[in-house]
Amino acid sequence: MPFLGQDWRSPGWRWVKTEDGWKRCEPFSHALEDGNNQLNDISQTVIITGDDENEEVYNTEDCEFAAKKRKKDHFRNNTDSQCFYREKWIYVHKESTKERHGYCTLGEAFNRLDFSSAIQDIRRFNYVVKLLQLIAKSQLTSLSGAAQKNYFNILDKIVQKVMEDQYNPRLIKDLLQDLSSTLCILIRGVGKSVLVGNINIWICRLETILLWQQQLKNLQMNKQVNNGLTLSDLPLHMLNNILYRFSDGWDIITLGQVTPTLYMLSEDRQLWKKLCQYHFAEKQFCRHLIPSEKGHIDWKLMYFALQKYYPIKEQYGDTLHFCRHCSILFWKDTGHPCTASDPNTCLMPVSPQHFIDLFKF
């Protein structure tokens, strides 16, 4: 019979497999120490407000458990990776059958679809961020403990990507604002009656969110030095074509602040009219006509006024897809084991809101 001895990798330590073999993880690092120092400074001033005027302050004594939890999580989960599955698709079933027991949950789908890798793809980044924002607004309590852990691990990777690449910080700022508002209401209002896990863990997560918000607030855009052709060197018709490609009004305003020429092009009435016609039906903006001083319709003000009443049309480079024949949700380039004679006719793109609706019972 084989010899059963002690683990040669020294039991009691956490080991990670690398290309060079197994390496032992250190239980404490300088990076963790710096992070704890920053979070401890924030935890002294964390204020959670409700609907009334009363305020509840969580000081360092209240968050002592949270600080210990950070060290424990760093020791157990040094890589901050989500649960990985071989198949990057999931069968969406809403009731028990003879072949399958139980039903598919939002947390299970969130774990299975590899969002951690999806955020590295520029085509999917906005899609994943929007999905996380919708979950933060209304479905956070529907996630299991493992799904919540994956949620915050992916959120951490998104913040780090924005800090490194300076890509679309406004989008992640809106996500963190919605998430912090939701957590403040849940922690102060209902607490652990709906949140999975100890309430101190959620206070710790709220501290982390506040730290991320502070980092994004202090984010400085790197000025790229390039002696070649710049945006300002392009002819006017090309700059105008670039502006007409934008589907978000705030992006047009931001680009218009770069140079006086771009500002002039960004104030074009025809540009904002096309934007209103793209996002809203004619019946919608006919009800909210805003004339300018010269008697013309102010399409720019119209766009932002209509945004308050109607949802704008979402546009993404890549989305999840749902196979109506197999009832499988998947990323299109990863594929799935489809049994249809013509799989392409069964595919349906899934918007972030549709993804949420698939798991509402």
Name which of 139, 132, 127 is nearest 314 in CA terms: 127
Average of per-residue pLDDT values in the chain: 75
Q: What is the pLDDT of residues 179-193, one digit of tens each?
A: 998 888 887 765 445
18-54 burial: b if 16+ Cβ within 10 Å, else e:
eeeeeeeeeeeeeebeeebebbbebbeebebeeeeee
Q: How confident is the model at residue 358 (pLDDT cuts 50, 70, 90)?
A: confident
Q: How confident is the model at residue 303 (pLDDT cuts 50, 70, 90)?
A: confident
Residue found under tokens 């019972």: 361
| Of 47-61, 150-164, 342-356, the least confident | 47-61
Q: How confident is the model at residue 29 (pLDDT cuts 50, 70, 90)?
A: very low
Share of the chain above pLDDT 70, in %: 69
Q: What is the pLDDT of residues 322-332, one digit of tens each?
A: 988 888 888 88
Q: What is the pLDDT of residues 152-185, one digit of tens each?
A: 999 999 999 988 888 888 889 999 999 998 888 8
Q: What is the pLDDT of residues 231-276, one digit of tens each?
A: 778 888 999 999 998 888 888 998 898 888 999 999 998 999 898 8
What DSSP line would sit under 261-317, residue for residue?
HHHHHHT-HHHHHHHHHHHS-HHHHHTT--B-TTSSB-HHHHHHHHHHHSPPPP--S
Give me the residues paired with residue 17 across strands.
22
Q: How confident is the model at residue 10 (pLDDT cuts 50, 70, 90)?
A: very low
**pLDDT surpasses 90 at 16:** no
Taking CB atoms within 8 Å and a gap of at least 24, the contacts of 53-57 are 56/188
What DSSP line would sit under 146-208, residue for residue?
HHHHHHHHHHHHHHHHHHHH---HHHHHHHHHHHHHHHHHIIIIIGGGTSSS-HHHHHHHHHH
> Which one-letter DSSP state was computed for residue 133?
H
Q: What is the pLDDT of residues 55-108, one digit of tens each?
A: 444 444 445 555 555 555 544 544 444 444 566 788 887 665 655 555 677 878
**pLDDT surpasses 90 at 201:** no
pLDDT recorded at residue 97: 60
114-151 burial: b if 16+ Cβ within 10 Å, else e:
bbbbbbeeeebbbbbbbbbbbbbeebbebbeeebbbbb
Q: What is the pTM of this model?
A: 0.67
Share of the chain above pLDDT 90, in %: 11
